[in-house]
Amino acid sequence: MHDLVLTGGHLLDPANDADGPAELAIRDGRISEVGRVTTGARRTVDVSGHYVLPGIIDSHTHLSRHFGSAEGHGMVAATGVVTALDMAGEIQDLARDLTGGGAGLNVAYLHPLVPGATLWSHDPSEDEIAGAVARALASGAVGIKLLGGHYPLTPKATAQAVATAAARRCYVAFHVGTTATGSDIRGLEEALHLAADLPIHIAHVNSYCRGQTTGDPVAEAQRALDLLAAHPCAVSESYLSVYNGTSARCQDGIPSSAVTKTCLRLGNFEQSEGGLEAAIRAGYARIHHQKDGEIVLAPPADGLETWRALGTDAGVSFPVNHIPSAILLATARRNGPFVIDGLSTDGGAIPRNFLVRHGLMLVQMSAWTLRDFVVKASLNPARMLGLPAKGHLGVGADADVTVVDLDAGRARWSVARGRVVLADGRVEGRGGTLLVSPAGEAAARSRGLAHEVIHREGWR
Ligand SMILES: [Zn+2]
């Protein structure tokens, strides 16, 4: 007896060369039969007219307090994503949401290294970095996030963090920038130089190609592609949204985040708390604001009120991404494979969860085949994160499935580890599963979390 059978759909699974009508059966959280299902099921769902794809993986989200919040789980799940990497995670927040709330997602997180918060300074010693990496893994993170673009470390400390992570087989993602550069194309060049031949995940490549350095976003995207193609040890993702996401927090009258200051400069506003207030009033800076269980970009008056009520410590988005450059980055290939491995959102509780919507638009426009979409949104992210049981629908694989209506450009159903998350367009999932490294298993168990230990394989 299967737990769940999806009938009537068109199954597309590039890793197993499957592309045609097929039934899919699930038992005990795994794919149990593919093709013509011979045994009965507790629940059968007719997905006629839709495509049955390996579960969509968003390799860049925000679900914890640093840049996100609890609402992110439902916002992600509503789009058909079943696995999310929280890029600045916090075990307290995730433990609360994965037990008492959540939306049934698989969630892994990276622990952020932030000077003045999780590190003493912007130039930590080798020992301090080693301690931070060890604590991150023991608390349940699968790795660390370097937030150089917002809160930079010195180039030396950045290189040390990458080396320490590699030695511990700890995942490391980098929002580029150090005390010597910024969140731009020069920062990307420096990041790849500092990482040399060590594994690194370059976060949201599109955000370094806004024309900040040369005034020409498309030329910067071409440069980013050349740099990444020359560094095969680096994996990367990019997203398709005009809005970025950053912090509106100000200290002593100045925005704390370097990204926020750059956005104010790009919009011709003063790089101060007063400049940020003017940008909010003008509708250029959009404060993140809770409404009906979701986070939305607030209109100016509501945004100002929220920003003031939170003592400036709110999230904010600026329309600074250049879409032609972002489309070039998402679709570019070198000798066959995509240069940038994954399509992501940098969303979650930042309201721009457009992975499925904009990814399927590229398919509708014939910029991608649907197979390309699966590669960018499931297979490649599974390989980046070292998850061999995800990204495909072979018998024995994790029962992570996303069913999409290509004409409507959206997901209708999704399943994570055998449990329905999205049911005919409505989020039905609760709780969720934390993916941890072997070092984090004890922490997950002691918090009573549904968890799975991942044993990362090589990069790529
Ligand atoms: Zn992010």
Residue of higher predicted confidence among 119 and 209: 209
CA of 85 to the centre of ligand 1 (A): 10
Query: Tokens for 59?
Result: 């390799």
Cite the DSSP H helix spans in 341-425: 355-364, 370-374, 380-385
Paired sense of beta strands 410-416 and 401-405, if any: antiparallel
CA of 448 to the centre of ligand 1 (A): 28
CA of 316 to the centre of ligand 1 (A): 12
Residues whose Cβ atom is located within 5 A of ion ligand 1: 87, 346
Whether pLDDT at 12 is above 70: yes
Contact 404, 80 (CB under 8 A): yes
Range from 109-118, 272-281, 401-410 carrying the lowest mean pLDDT? 109-118
CA of 126 to the centre of ligand 1 (A): 25
| Buried b or exposed e, range 297-321, using 16+ CB within 10 angstroms | bbebeebbebbeeeebebbbbbbbb
CA of 307 to the centre of ligand 1 (A): 20
CA of 176 to the centre of ligand 1 (A): 11
Cite the DSSP H helix spans in 251-405: 258-266, 273-281, 300-309, 323-331, 355-364, 370-374, 380-385
CA of 263 to the centre of ligand 1 (A): 15
Whether pLDDT at 10 is above 60: yes
CA of 328 to the centre of ligand 1 (A): 20
Whether pLDDT at 140 is above 50: yes
Average pLDDT over residues 412-434: 97
CA of 9 to the centre of ligand 1 (A): 34
Whether pLDDT at 455 is above 90: no
CA of 61 to the centre of ligand 1 (A): 6
**pLDDT for position 33:** 96
**pLDDT for position 118:** 84
| Nearest Cα residue to 437 out of 54, 144, 164 | 144
Mind listing the pLDDT tens digit for each residue in 156-168? Answer: 999 999 999 999 8
| Nearest Cα residue to 276 out of 295, 257, 289, 291 | 257
CA of 294 to the centre of ligand 1 (A): 18
Average pLDDT over residues 73-77: 98
Average pLDDT over residues 97-112: 96
Task: Give the model's confidence band at 113: pLDDT under 50 very low, under 70 low, under 90 confident, else very high.
Answer: very high
Paired sense of beta strands 23-27 and 51-54, if any: unpaired
Whether pLDDT at 218 is above 80: yes
Paired sense of beta strands 286-291 and 315-317, if any: antiparallel
Mind listing the pLDDT tens digit for each residue in 345-398? Answer: 999 999 999 999 999 999 999 999 999 999 999 999 999 999 999 999 999 999
Whether pLDDT at 145 is above 60: yes
What domains, with CATH codes, occur in the chain? 2-53+398-428 (2.30.40.10), 55-385 (3.20.20.140)
Residue of higher predicted confidence among 455 and 430: 430
CA of 90 to the centre of ligand 1 (A): 14
CA of 160 to the centre of ligand 1 (A): 22
- Using CA atoms, how far apart are residues 305 and 106, in angstroms rounded to an integer? 35
Q: With pLDDT > 90 as the criterion, what percentage of the chain qualifies?
A: 94
CA of 175 to the centre of ligand 1 (A): 8
Whether pLDDT at 1 is above 80: yes
Cite the DSSP H helix spans in 123-216: 126-139, 155-167, 185-195
pTM of the full predicted structure? 0.96
**pLDDT for position 460:** 34
Identify the H or E element spanning 446: helix 441-446
- Using CA atoms, how far apart are residues 445 and 8, in angstroms rounded to an integer? 39
**pLDDT for position 5:** 98
